[in-house]
Amino acid sequence: MIWNCYISEAHKMNRFLDAVNTFIFEGIKNHRILLRGSLAEETQKFLKDEISEHSGIDLEIEIKPRFADWKLNTLEILLKTEFTYFALAQEDHLVVCERGDLRNYFLDCIKKDVKIARITSFLRGQNFVSSLAQAYSFKTSKNAILFELPKKIDPKVNKRNYLVSLLGFYERRTLIELLRSVRPILKNFPPFTPFDFEQSIQKTWYLPAVCAFSQRELLACIDDDQGGISLQNRGKYPLDFIRHVDHDKESTGGSMTKLINKWETKLIYGDFRLFGYIKVHLSRDFRNKLASSLLISKKVIYSTIWWRYVISKRLLVLDRGECKLRLPNIEQR
């Protein structure tokens, strides 16, 4: 397991501890953890105290003082290990399946030489799996549905889904390539964040690959509620904090993106006031067009920041081997 989490609030620390414990209860014993944020050290202390009650847990924790390139930090963790498969986890997802189901799913994926396996968004992902099944032949086991996806994706496949997700199970070399990549070229989310790691099914540079989907729900999000399926909405987790989903909250774009986010919200909800006082009525169509323009502006800002960083720093860091990354023939095992 690889955890690369930003813990700066008490509810996030408690969720992180709960999440780790659900994986340990499932029998997942190898954990490599990178903690960032103001509560990182306190979280480490609590975690070590809790882990001491369990036997056979292989736990390594590192604390970084500041937020950096999430993909590069995660790659550093990976390259310090000898494992051939990795699961990426976050503090806002808990194991919800019957004990043994997650391990058996992982074992099926390893036996079938799966490169990318989904472990979350089971309920929301049913239409995605159905569209894949209409376009491609597949194999099934007790735990998994397996697709051998080609480089070119069939038009029948639902294009709005992410195949490479922040929470997933990945073969070593595949995960290395995903983490070292500078893609997506045009950034939909702030660079350096975990969301920048994800790749939609429309982006096929990492294919062909054998991909897997679970036959049952394995993990569920605590509070990311889309369609009433979060654990809080189901009454399976305390209402410790109500999150308003906003991937741009900790934006890297500075004051400009904060201003764009502010106006984008005003346009979406129709609360547009001239000089902050005079409410102006704008048609929904006009507001949508303005919101789309602002979205494009954000993508340009995020992409500009990212590529300036890549050209000036990231390539040099990799070439100097500061994260023990060997180019171009990266890891033969």
Same domain, 73 and 105: yes
Q: What is the C-alpha to C-alpha distance for residues 288 and 227, in angstroms, rounded to an integer?
A: 23
Same domain, 259 and 189: no
Distance of CA 17 to the CA centre of its chain: 18
Residue 185 has pLDDT above 60, yes or no: yes
Q: Are 120 and 167 in contact (CB under 8 A)?
A: yes
Same domain, 91 and 156: yes
**Range of weakest confidence among 43-52, 99-108, 245-254, 264-273:** 245-254
Q: Which of 243, 265, 298 is the last residue of a domain?
A: 243
Average pLDDT across the chain, whole number: 83
Q: Does any domain span residue 132?
A: yes
Q: Does any domain span residue 223?
A: yes
Long-range CB pairs of 313-321 (<8 Å, 24+ gap) are 314/69, 314/72, 314/182, 317/72, 318/180
Query: What pLDDT was estimated at residue 333?
Result: 32
Same domain, 229 and 291: no
**Of residues 217 and 285, more confidently modeled:** 217
Average pLDDT over residues 23-37: 94
Q: What is the pLDDT of residues 219-278, one digit of tens each?
A: 999 987 566 788 998 889 988 766 554 444 444 555 555 555 555 555 555 555 655 555
Token couple for 78: 């990976």
Same domain, 154 and 222: yes
Q: What is the C-alpha to C-alpha distance for residues 324 and 77, in angstroms, rounded to an integer?
A: 10
Distance of CA 204 to the CA centre of its chain: 18
Same domain, 38 and 88: yes
Rg (alpha carbons) of the chain, rounded to whole number: 21
Average pLDDT over residues 42-50: 93
- Residue 189 contacts by C-beta under 8 Å, 6 or more apart in sequence? 195, 196, 247, 248, 302
Same domain, 225 and 265: no
Same domain, 53 and 80: yes
Average pLDDT over residues 215-221: 95
Q: Which of 243, 264, 280 is the last residue of a domain?
A: 243
Same domain, 128 and 55: yes
Same domain, 39 and 159: yes
CA 176, 224, 115 angle in degrees (round to 5)? 25
Residue 37 has pLDDT above 70, yes or no: yes
Residue 81 has pLDDT above 60, yes or no: yes
- Residue 177 contacts by C-beta under 8 Å, 6 or more apart in sequence? 206
Q: How many domains does the chain have?
A: 2
Residue 42 has pLDDT above 90, yes or no: yes
Q: Does any domain span residue 330?
A: no
Residue 170 has pLDDT above 70, yes or no: yes
Q: Which of 222, 243, 264 is the last residue of a domain?
A: 243
Proportion of the chain above pLDDT 90, given as a percent: 52
Query: What pLDDT was estimated at residue 323?
Result: 53
Same domain, 163 and 271: no
Same domain, 174 and 97: yes
Domain that holds residue 58: 2-243
Residue with tokens 């190898």: 30
Q: Does any domain span residue 34?
A: yes
Query: What pLDDT was estimated at residue 286?
Result: 61
Domain with residue 185: its CATH number is 3.90.550
Q: Does any domain span residue 154?
A: yes
Q: Does any domain span residue 323?
A: no
**Of residues 313 and 273, more confidently modeled:** 313
Q: Does any domain span residue 328?
A: no
Q: Does any domain span residue 326?
A: no
